Structure 1
């Protein structure tokens, strides 16, 4: 079984991902894969260098994420271009790792932890979509506190993604993370028990 896990910035997706991993899910972290595909000597880094130039590299040839981030954050076209360059590479790695896991054990529950699951049109490759949700006013407050941002800066970052309300509408399962950690844990337990029954796995909470 392959599921996609997503959310919005500061909604707590990483927390829910860790909870699912504790219960036995195989987590494939798109952010980790994204770091791997731009390591020195990779096709991903070559593509970035060819399009953005030497300015986005450190002296030792590694990607300077800070410089690249500053370049694309305020430029929608360049951000889209970067996604066009890297998303196919990231997707291929995720799909290959999934294939290997399910080849060994077809009843494994594999979860793609992908921030841009919906925006990147990856929902077509998963059976169900899990969205970690909090209302937008709470999302704004948490992001401002977490990253020490002004309200304007936080709103800009939130606006760079599909709104959490829109993502919620597209979800098959919603984990509401706006309450206590214990409330989130209970929802994850309910979901995990349902998934293990559906997949034929014997690992229940």
Structure 2
């Protein structure tokens, strides 16, 4: 999740791997059957752990998918930081980072995107999952504020930074949710990356048109 500390020790790595394995199994089962039809016991069994171990990692079965959902968000924010270059406009950085975060690669697998698609298809009808998704989005916005602030410069007030971060975050969320509701491929003009970039460009174009009208 945004702001998480890097995993360094062997014990921490093993814990992180176990947590992610639980998250993957939960995502598979929720996508196939819906969260209400799946028990914590079934998730634990599929992940090869006991129920007590499951509850050491997560308070509820719905929270088990948080690491999977948050992982993509964390990568996106990391890419925003990595794509920042001298003189680069915030729109350019966001577009490059968005394409990296939503295009299948060694870091972003086809499987991960499909898991996300399956989960988002169930979120609206599952209050517990919806709450997890909203929390991930809230954390995403906070993390994005920190990543975007240097791009806007020291003279930009905090309210503007937050508005830009919230707008970019909303564009990404709407694009991914829209893509997930379809059977569109993970690449190409109908894929999530291009859809998200299009959403962000629409925001910029709308803001520019409003400025022109006001002037």
Identify whether the pair has TM-score above 0.5, normalized to the shorter chain. Answer: no
Where relative contact order (Cα < 8 A, 6+ residues apart) is larger, the structure is 1
More helix by share: 2
TM-score by length of 1: 0.29
More strand by share: 1
